[in-house]
Amino acid sequence: TRSTRPQRMLKAVQKNATKGNPKSVISAIDYFCKHSEWAMNVGDEKGSILDSVVTEVNPSTVLELGTYCGYSTVRIARLLSPGTKLITLEFNPANAAVAKQIIAYAGLQDKVILVEGSSGDLIPQMKERFGITTFDFIFLDHWKDRYLPDIKLFEECGLLRKGSVLLADNVICPGTPEYLEYVRKSPRYESKYFPAHLEYTKVEDGLEKSVFLG
């Protein structure tokens, strides 16, 4: 049967990247998406903004919602201090299987805990399953209609502390209007928009960085 796009992306990584070299894995995926097939990775332009926020926060506890093929997982994990792990949630088992292999090819498997399941089910389990008290950094890149219910879930589960940073992808395209309205209107968040473009295109998109004020 015909391969899937994530499987073809994995093949491109295995062919063009150097094992154990995260930068080469990132470049191989970006090349594949620019010259072979578009895919919904955060991409190089928004990825550079992601890098700068992760570097600024230098988080000890990290959660990613929406692993897909592991591109942003690799971008984040390569910047974490030794001993720090990131938890990434992926609903689609086929995506998770490819992501696991791409993360391992980058040599970052010891810095990543990939969990299969949905944010709505797993967020309430973070404390008991992973011994998390609060998250320093959260990257939202999953189903766009889940951003708002999930930020409310983080509040209800006491998973945010003064200074916790949430960075949301695709707030313009496909768009997350209810989430944007919430974080920009709420007195409990300090929000900032980083303009960019939809990965590998000229279409307007951007990232919203929201700091929880406690």
Ligand X SMILES: O=C(NCc1cccc(CNc2ccc3[nH]ncc3c2)c1)c1cc(-c2ccc(F)cc2)cc(O)c1O
Binding site for ligand X (CB under 6 A): 40, 65-66, 89-92, 95, 118-119, 141-144, 146, 169-170, 173-174, 198-199
Report whether 188 contacts 212 (CB < 8 A): yes
Least Å from the CB of residue 113 to ligand X: 14
Q: Which does 208 bind (CB under 5 to 8 A by kind): ligand X, Mg ion, none?
A: none
Active site residue 170: yes
The catalytically annotated residue of 46, 100, 111, 144 is 144
Residue 141 lies near Mg ion (rule: CB under 5 A): yes
d(C-alpha 41, C-alpha 45), whole Å: 11
44 is annotated as an active-site residue: no
- Residue 169 is among the residues annotated as catalytic for this protein: yes
> Which segment (132-140, 147-155, 168-176, 204-212) binds Mg ion by CB under 5 A?
168-176
Note whether 22 and 51 are within 8 A (CB).
Answer: no
Our CB check for ligand X shows the closer of 110 and 145 to be 145
CB 86 within 8 A of CB 111: yes
CA triplet 119, 93, 50: central angle to 5 degrees?
55
Q: In terms of DSSP bridges, do strands 112-116 and 137-140 run parallel, antiparallel, or are they unpaired? A: unpaired
Give catalytic residues, as residue numbers: 141, 144, 169-170, 199
